[in-house]
Structure 1
Amino acid sequence: MKRPFVTREQLEKLVRQVPTPFHLYDERGIRETARRLKAAFAWNPGFKEYFAVKATPNPAILKILREEGCGADCSSLTELMLARRCGFSGSEIMFSSNDTPAEEFVLAHELGAVINLDDFTHIDFLRDTIGGIPETISCRFNPGGLFTLGASAEGFQVMDNPGDSKYGFTRDQLFAGFRRLKELGAKRFGLHAFLASNTLSNDYYPTLAGILFRLAVELERETGCDICFINLSGGVGIPYRPDQRGNDIAVIGDGVRRRFEEILVPAGMGDVAIFTELGRFLLAPNGCLVTKVLHFKHTYKEYVGVDACAANLMRPAMYGAYHHITVMGKEEAPCDHKYDVTGGLCENNDKFAIDRMLPEVELGDLLVIHDTGAHGFSMGYNYNGRLRSAEVLLRSDGSAKLIRRAETPEDYFATMIFED
Structure 2
Amino acid sequence: MSGKWFPLDKDELAGLAEKYPTPFYLYDEKSIRENVRRFIGAFKDFPSFKEYFAVKACPNPYILKILASEGCGADCSSMPELVLAQRAGITGEDVIFSSNETPENEYVYANLMNAILNLDDISHIDFLEKAIGGIPDLVCFRYNPGPLKEGNAIIGKPEEAKYGLTREQIFEAYAEVKKRGATRFGLHTMVASNELDPDYFIETAVMLFELAAELKKKLGINFEFIDLGGGIGIPYKPDQKAVDYSYIAKGIREAYDRIIVPNGLDPLRLCFECGRPITGPYGWLVTKAIHTKHIYRDYIGVDASMADLMRPGMYGAYHEVTVSGKETAPRDHVYDVVGSLCENCDKFAIQRNLPEIEIGDFVIIHDAGAHGRAMGFNYNAKLRAGELLLREDNTIMEIRRKETINDYFATIDFSGLDGFKV
Structure 1-normalised TM-score?
A: 0.97
Q: Distance in 2 between matches of 1:298 and 1:354?
A: 14
Corresponding residue to 1:218 among 193, 214, 220: 214
Determine which of 81, 84, 97 is the counterpart of 2:83: 81
2:369 to 368, 373, 377: 373
Q: Which portions of structure 1, spanning 4 or more consecutive aligned residues, are displaced by more than 6 angstroms?
A: none
Residues 138 and 189 in structure 1, CA contact (< 8 A), matched pair in contact too: yes
Range with greater deviation from structure 2 (6-15 or 334-343): 6-15
- Tell me which residue corresponds to 1:279: 275
* Residue in structure 1 matching 2:134, options 107, 132, 135: 132
- Counterpart amino acid of 2:254? R
1:114 aligned residue (113, 116, 127): 116
Q: Determine which of 382, 385, 400 is the counterpart of 2:378.
A: 382
Q: What secondary structure sits across from 1:296 in the alignment?
A: strand
Q: For 1:105, what is the secondary structure of its paired residue?
A: helix
Structure 1 residues 119 and 375: CA distance shift in structure 2, 3 A: same
Q: Which residue of 2 aligns with 1:294?
A: 290
How far apart are 1:10 and its partner, in Å? 2.4
* 1:6 to partner: Cα distance: 2.9
Comparing 62-71 and 250-259, the one that deviates more: 250-259
- Alignment partner, residue 40 of structure 2: 38
Aligned partners of 1:402 and 1:385: how far apart in 2?
Answer: 23
Contact 2:188–2:227 (CA under 8 A) maintained in structure 1: yes
What SS does the aligned partner of 2:181 have?
coil
- 1:203 is paired with a residue whose SS is helix
- Partner letter of residue 28 of structure 1? K
Q: Is the 8 A contact 2:297 2:335 kept in 1?
A: yes
Aligned 8 A contact 1:24 1:287 in 2: yes
1:237 maps to which residue? Answer: 233
The alpha-carbon deviation at position 359 of structure 1 amounts to 0.5
Amino acid of the structure 1 residue aligned with 2:333: H
1:12-411 paired onto structure 2 within 5 Å: 12-145=14-147, 147-148=149-150, 160-411=156-407
Indicate how the Cα distance of structure 1 residues 146 and 264 shifts in structure 2: closer, same or farther if over 3 A, else same. Answer: closer
Task: Tell me the amino acid that sits aligned with residue 83 of structure 2.
Answer: M
- Fraction of identical pairs, as percent: 53
- Contact 2:311–2:372 at 8 Å: present in 1 too? yes
| Partner AA of 1:347 in structure 2 | E
Q: Judge conservation of contact 1:146–1:159 (CA < 8 Å) in 2.
A: no
TM-score under structure 2 normalisation? Answer: 0.96
Unaligned runs of 5+ in 1: none
Q: How far apart, CA to CA, are the structure 2 residues paired with 1:73 and 1:42?
A: 21
Shift of 1:146: 6.2
**Offset of 1:45 from its aligned partner?**
2.9
Aligned counterparts of 1:48 and 1:288: Cα–Cα separation in 2: 27
Pairwise CA RMSD? 1.2
Q: Distance in 1 between matches of 2:34 and 2:8?
A: 16
1:159 and 1:348 map into 2 onto residues whose CA distance is 24
Contact 1:311-1:386 within 8 A present in 2 as well? yes
Distance 1:260 1:25 in 2: 36
In structure 2, relative to structure 1, the CA distance for the partners of 1:2 and 1:279 (3 Å cut) is: same
Kept after mapping to 2: 8 A contact 1:90/1:114 = yes
Whichever residue aligns with residue 82 of structure 2, its letter is L
Q: What is the one-letter code of the residue matched to 1:19?
A: P
Mapped partners of 1:160, 1:37: distance in 2? 26
Quickly say closer, same or farther: Cα 1:146–1:307, change in 2 above 3 A: farther
How far apart in 1 are the matches of 2:149 and 2:193? 11
Could you tell me how far apart the structure 1 residues matched to 2:60 and 2:278 are? 14
Q: CA deviation at 1:124?
A: 1.1
Deviation at 1:159, TM superposition (A): 8.9
1:58 maps to a residue whose letter is: N
| Structure 2, unpaired ranges of 5+ | none
The aligned amino acid for 1:88 is: I
